[in-house]
Each structure stands twice: as C-alpha cells, then as structure tokens.
Structure 1
C-alpha cells in the first residue's frame, strides 16, 4: 500500500479512492479556467470523486516557437489562486525553473515536475524543500525502475510528499506506448502513482509544428492502468477540444467525462 498524502481537502494513496487530476492543458483565460473548474467540480461532486484541478500557466516545452504558451507565471498563479479560493479545490501546475519554485509554492498545492525535467536535480530538490506535494512525471526516456533515484532526491531533501506519474515511453519517432509494468514497479517505492491518460496517447510533434493525439485510446489505457491499483488518474479535458489552445487532439471533451469516470470508478472498486 502506498503512503497516504493530504492535498488540501483531498486524500490520495493509502488505499483511498481513485483521485482525478484534471483541467485544460493550459490556462487560456480567467473566465475559461473558472468555467472548466466549476464543471469539473460539479462532475466530481456528483460521482463522489476527489478532484485536484490542473492547468499550466506556462507551457515551456511547446513544439513550435509560435505555439500558445499561456498567460505566464504571475497571471497564471493569480488565476489558479482564484480557482482555489472560490471553489475550495486543490490546484496543480508545472514548474520549469528554480526561480519559479518559491512563488509557485505560495499558491499551488502540488508542484509538478514536467517529464522532460525529471532528471534535473536542482529543480527537483528545490521543489522538495518547499515541503509541498511534488508530482514528478516520469520522462518518456526513463525506465520505471529509474524513478527510484528521483524518489531518492525528493526524500533526501526532507520531503516524503511524493507522487509519481506515468505518461508513456517513447516508441520510435512521434509515438508513445505505456508499459503496464510501470505501475507496480513505481508503487513498490511506497508513494502514490498516477496515470496520465491523455498525454500517454499524444503523438509528440506528430503534426509538424504541434503534437497530435489518439484520444480514442484513452479509455482502454485508463482501464488497464486502474486495474493495476493506481492511486490517481490524470486527464486533460476541454469543453471543445477542437478549439483548445494546447493538446486538443488528446484532450477529453468535458461532456464525455462523467460516463468515463463512472466506468473507471466501477473498476477501481473491484481492485481497490
């Protein structure tokens, strides 16, 4: 059994119910962010599912220099703070440099280390030293057993509030696959493990100047991951993915989310 974490009002791990981490890939505007957060809260309240709201204030790793990156740290954190205060739900976002750690930690309940940066020791240690929950996304280039060393960096910094997230492994060019062995391997380190269901169906750089995606496989992979006993599911969602400013091809339409979550909850109840 994994360690139980307290994230605002949400409990994750320790045999608790499956937690949803969800939101639009990037903060598109204050109004859109609040609207998505409210709809997600309504959906999760109806299902009795714990929710952590996720959206990025800066997508620093976009494929093209011309791609929308978000409102930036200051404005983005202000918007996430408003979500947290007005709706009472924990919030999560990515950090990309040591300079972002302190201001982000004043607002965020979970500091997320992007997959491409999971080996950056100084960033991981700086995040850990805040005492906040740190969600480290496993790099597409990393074996699941190599995450033991990442866990060691966080724990050695005096912080055992750790989440590990699987988001697929590079398989040739512009493609990802999910090795289901990752989940029991990473859970064996004693901390909650999350499956990033939407980034795992991404086709990185598959559209030339942006990434493609195969959202039709999100449920299949999610079912398989939940069946291994994971602690949380991570999904980027949008009311209209065709109009999303980031990761639309692999985002789940909000209208389809309740039925999908209900099916995953039923499976989670069997394996929990």
Structure 2
C-alpha cells in the first residue's frame, strides 16, 4: 500500500517536519510505502489573496533539508514545463494537477524528466478518458505512471466519487491512487476559498481500499483548522492514526 501524505502547502519548517516525522513512523508501523507530499506553490487557489506557498526556490531548499533530515521520498506538483525541469532533481514523483491533466505540453515535460509521474484525474474527466493521458505520457517516454482519482464535479461546489473509476483505470494503468481528502473538498464552497467535509474522508478511504486501490493520497496537518490551505478537508494526526489502522486491517483481510 502506497501512502502519499503531508500538508497541502509548505507553511513552515515546524509543521512540515512534525508531519513528516509522524507519518514516517506511522507508515513504518503499518508497513506502508511512504511518500511525503507538499506543494511549494498552489497556483489554482480560489482568491488572489489566498496563500499560495513560498515558491519554487524556497521549495527546493526545503526538499533538500527534508531529504537530509529524513531521507524520505517526496512528491510535489508543478504547473509549467519550466518548473518540471527545475524541480525534477529534488523529488521522486512529479504530479500533474487535475486542472492540467489534459495539457499535452505539461504531460510531455513530466515524461521527459524520467521521473515517476502521478496524474490527478480532472474533476471534468471520465475514468476511461484517462487512457488518452496515459498514452500521451508513454508516447513521450514515461515509464512509471500513476493515476489518482479525486472526485468528479457534481453540480456547483460539490464532488462525488464513482468507485467504478478504480477498476476502469486499472485496465490501462498499473498504479491507481485514491485522493481521500480532495474528494471531500467543496470547491469554491466558501466563495473566496474552498470548503470541505473531512468527517466523510474515512468512509471514502475505507471503501477505496476495499475496492483494491494501490494507494491513498491524503493531506494531513497537525492542526487543520489553522492550516493556510485546504484546512477544511485535511485530516489531523488522530484521524490519520485511526484511519491507518482501519485500512491496514481491510487490506490484510483482502489478501488473506
């Protein structure tokens, strides 16, 4: 089981290191393959006044410190061809954001780095349409590809998860991930920011594991209520620990 988890965006070293330490120990306890996740820039925030992150230069400095301190594997998202080339030497997985998943030049840039590429399925994309995304990546030389389900737009400011997505995408991609916390997001639900319903996250996570996904993507923060981005749908440490125990038992039951 792959676990991709961490704060939505880099806020400060204290939050980042505290979260990494907690999640590394938790994944070690349950035998999960852990990747630390955070963003150096959130280019798709609802409002121009929202916190985006420290930018790519500070992001690189942080990733270097994190690698030195913990030796952890890292995933981050990028938003332009230039960024892919700059950030590739500091992370293990490059993530294509959902809103950019059809952009051929973005996919080409990710593939050309030689890194593992994780593509978030757009909120506007049917699962079978992601086959074209995989074919683009392979055409440009990508070898290791992951697809992540993160919910589908259902009316205004709401998302739903179609659990048929997992077996459908497994037909043409070896590694399928479920984004637990963004799937309970309410995009733009607060007018100038997105809302969320974190209380539903464990239900969706348990269901996805029962469906046989290869891993879970989760945004986790020591205190989500004061987080600078996506706090309404992020999990706190207590919720994460309880959920990890549950998904471990479900996973074990499936493979006994």
- TM-score tier, shorter chain, comes to over 0.9
Give the Cα separation in 1 of the matches to 2:119 and 2:168. 15
4+ long deviations beyond 2 Å? none
Give the match for residue 104 of structure 2.
121
Q: CA deviation at 1:259?
A: 1.5
Q: Which of the residues 130, 134, 140 maps onto 1:147? A: 130
Give the Cα separation in 1 of the matches to 2:2 and 2:245. 12
Q: Mind listing any 5+ residue stretches in structure 2 that lack a counterpart?
A: none
Give the Cα separation in 2 of the matches to 1:266 and 1:107. 34
TM (norm. structure 2) is: 0.97
TM (norm. structure 1) is: 0.92
Does the Cα contact within 8 Å between 1:239 and 1:255 map onto a contact in 2?
A: no
Q: How many residues align structurally?
A: 255
Q: Which of the residues 194, 213, 238 maps onto 2:221? A: 238
Q: Which of the residues 168, 171, 175 maps onto 2:151? A: 168
Q: Which of the residues 105, 109, 132 maps onto 2:115? A: 132
SS in structure 2 of the partner of residue 93 of structure 1: strand
Give the match for residue 30 of structure 1.
13
Q: CA deviation at 1:255?
A: 2.3
Cα RMSD (Å): 0.9
Q: Mind listing any 5+ residue stretches in structure 1 that lack a counterpart?
A: 1-17
Give the match for residue 4 of structure 2.
21
Q: Which of the residues 68, 84, 89 maps onto 2:72? A: 89
Give the Cα separation in 2 of the matches to 1:248 and 1:88. 27
Give the match for residue 11 of structure 1.
none
Does the Cα contact within 8 Å between 1:241 and 1:248 map onto a contact in 2?
A: yes
Give the Cα separation in 2 of the matches to 1:138 and 1:85. 32
Q: Which of the residues 142, 145, 153 maps onto 1:159? A: 142
Give the Cα separation in 2 of the matches to 1:106 and 1:72. 16
